[in-house]
């Protein structure tokens, strides 16, 4: 394990920690359940990815790294599904998102707009 690889691994782990902590702070600062999901989303996307990248550098070209990447792949398939289940359950039970001033946020229908690009 060279100094360079150790340094790279540490940098990735620290960057991952930053996004996990940011996710935690966002969870506390954001006003309602919907916006808190966005904060939690940072923990399980870039936070998890940077952590696993940092550990993969420690693992080198071994089966351990392959397993770490598989874990990342499974996180990226399952976490949005879980978040959708949570968001849909919240929506179905009648909780509506709040604006910053505390008023309820109504849905804007833009489904009739043709998508550009």
Partner 1 sequence: MLRIVSLGGALVVAWLLLSGHYTPLILAFGLFSVIAVVAIAVRMDVVDHESVPIHMTGRFLSYWIWLAREIVKANIDVAKRVWSPALPISPTLLWLKTSQPGELGQVIYANSITLTPGTVSVSLQEDRILVHAIAREVGDDLAAGEMDQRVTRLEASGIPAPAQGGQGA
26, 52, 53, 54: which one binds partner 1 (CB under 8 A): 26
Q: How far is the CB of 7 from partner 1 (least distance, A)?
A: 21
What distances in angstroms separate CA 43 from CA 17, 25, 46, 59, 108, one per listed residue?
9, 11, 7, 22, 28
Nearest to 35 by CA among 43, 45, 27: 27
Q: Backbone phi, then psi, for 52, in 5-degree steps?
A: -70, -35
57 to 96, contacts with partner 1 by CB under 8 A?
A: 63, 66-67, 70, 76-77, 79-81, 83-84, 87-88, 90-92
Task: Please say which residue, 10 or 76, places its beta carbon nearer to partner 1.
Answer: 76
What distances in angstroms separate CA 54 from CA 15, 28, 61, 84, 107, one per listed residue?
9, 27, 13, 28, 40
Q: How far is the CB of 3 from partner 1 (least distance, A)?
A: 27
Q: Which range touches partner 1 (CB under 8 A), out of 1-9, 17-25, 52-60?
A: 17-25
Name the 3-class secondary structure at 16: helix
* 14 contributes a contact to partner 1 by CB under 8 A: no
* 17 contributes a contact to partner 1 by CB under 8 A: no
Task: Please say which residue, 8 or 34, places its beta carbon nearer to partner 1.
Answer: 34
């Amino acid at each position: 394990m060279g100094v360079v690889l150790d340094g790279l691994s540490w940098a990735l782990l620290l960057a991952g920690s930053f996004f996990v902590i940011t996710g935690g702070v966002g969870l506390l600062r954001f006003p309602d359940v919907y916006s808190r999901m966005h904060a939690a989303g940072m923990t399980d996307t870039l936070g998890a990815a940077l952590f696993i990248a940092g550990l993969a550098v420690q693992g080198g070209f071994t089966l351990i790294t392959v397993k770490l990447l598989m874990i990342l792949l499974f996180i990226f398939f399952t976490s949005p599904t879980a978040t959708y289940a949570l968001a849909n359950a919240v929506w179905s039970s009648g909780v509506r998102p709040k604006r910053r001033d505390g008023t309820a946020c109504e849905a804007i229908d833009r489904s009739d707009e043709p998508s550009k690009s």
